[in-house]
Structure 1
Amino acid sequence: MRDDLLDPRAVLLHESAPDREAAVRRCGRALADVGAVAEPYVEAMLERERSLSTYVGEGVAIPHGTNASKGDVLRDAICVVRFPGGVDWDGEHVTLCVGIAAKDNGHVPLLAALAEILLDPDRARALREATEVSDVIKELTA
């Protein structure tokens, strides 16, 4: 995965959220805080989540906006938000969210790269259990 997609300030490893909506908001906020998206993108992430769960298995969700929200993406980026206590994701237990912001069709290679990482049990576990920002960056840019 391109190493310019992940700003270290968008790696939050000790978060908590009472529910899925709050977790998605936290991801959107992380992307907005590093200048990757405009404010409306956060609501578009929630809209996407309400229409189709972004849970992908192994305790991981990949929240992202709707196709209509691509104009609110300022630059391609991801955030990694870890919820050590877990979040109920419509009956699933999520501890790691990887939020995506991508212009045009930029989400396709991003999702493919993430899938490759998350399908490797050792790498997925390393991400879920990471406590240092440098570990997350190493795992995602290896």
Structure 2
Amino acid sequence: MLEERGVRVAEAAPDRVTAIHRCADVLEEIGAVHPAYREAMLDREWAMSTYLGEGVAIPHGLDVSRILVRRDALAVLRFPDGVDWDGFRVTVCVAIAARGDGHVALLAALADILLDPERARALREATDPETIVGMLHSVEGQP
């Protein structure tokens, strides 16, 4: 679900709406979603914040938007200067495009990382896609 081509480590956004648009851009670039999925991501954000904690947000669409997902994928965008996310500072967005529940194991891996302050810091400070993919896949048990 997560490939190096879906990782960006030097993004900038003045606000969370722009950050979500960047997440949608990357999901589109890697062929995971229909362009209309970005509106579903924004709708989801307005329904309930996707801020997860430890500087991480997980923007994704609503259940009804699964028809706009071409293939399950993740995109990880790092915002080194941070983005205000409804009063929280986000430096990493893990954007989700999922038709089913294939992303659940990776989200569990992400939660495991965020529960460990050292690994959470390492994720927030990672500067290359290979490191980010490796962190998530090693916890998830993927090669």
Q: Same fold (TM over 0.5)?
A: yes
Match of 1:49 among 42, 45, 48: 45
Match of 1:66 among 55, 62, 66: 62
**How many equivalent pairs are there?**
138
Letter in 1 for 2:19: A
Distance 2:105 2:41 in 1: 19
TM-score (norm 2): 0.91
Asked if 1:90 corresponds to 2:116, the answer is no
Identity value in percent: 58
* Residue 119 in structure 1 maps to residue 118 in structure 2: no
Match status 1:104 vs 2:70: no
Cα displacement (A) at 1:56: 0.9
Tell me how large the CA RMSD over aligned residues is: 1.2
Distance, in Å, in 2 between the alignment partners of 1:104 and 1:67 is 9
Contact 2:106 2:136 in 1 (8 A): no
1:80 match: 76
TM-score normalised by the chain length of structure 1: 0.92
Match of 2:13 in 1: 17
1:35 maps to: 31
Aligned counterparts of 2:99 and 2:61: Cα–Cα separation in 1: 11
Deviations 1:45-103 (A, max 9, x none): 01100110000111110111000100011111111100001101011111110011111
Kept after mapping to 2: 8 A contact 1:14/1:82: yes
What is the CA-CA distance between 1:134 and the residue it aligns to? Answer: 1.2
- For structure 1, the 5+ residue unaligned runs are none
Q: Is the 8 A contact 1:80 1:99 kept in 2?
A: yes
Whether contact under 8 Å (1:126, 1:139) holds in the other structure is no
Measured in 2, the distance between the counterparts of 1:112 and 1:138 equals 15
Give 1:23 shift: 0.4
Counterpart Cα distance in 2 of 1:108 and 1:7: 16
Give the corresponding residue for 2:141: none
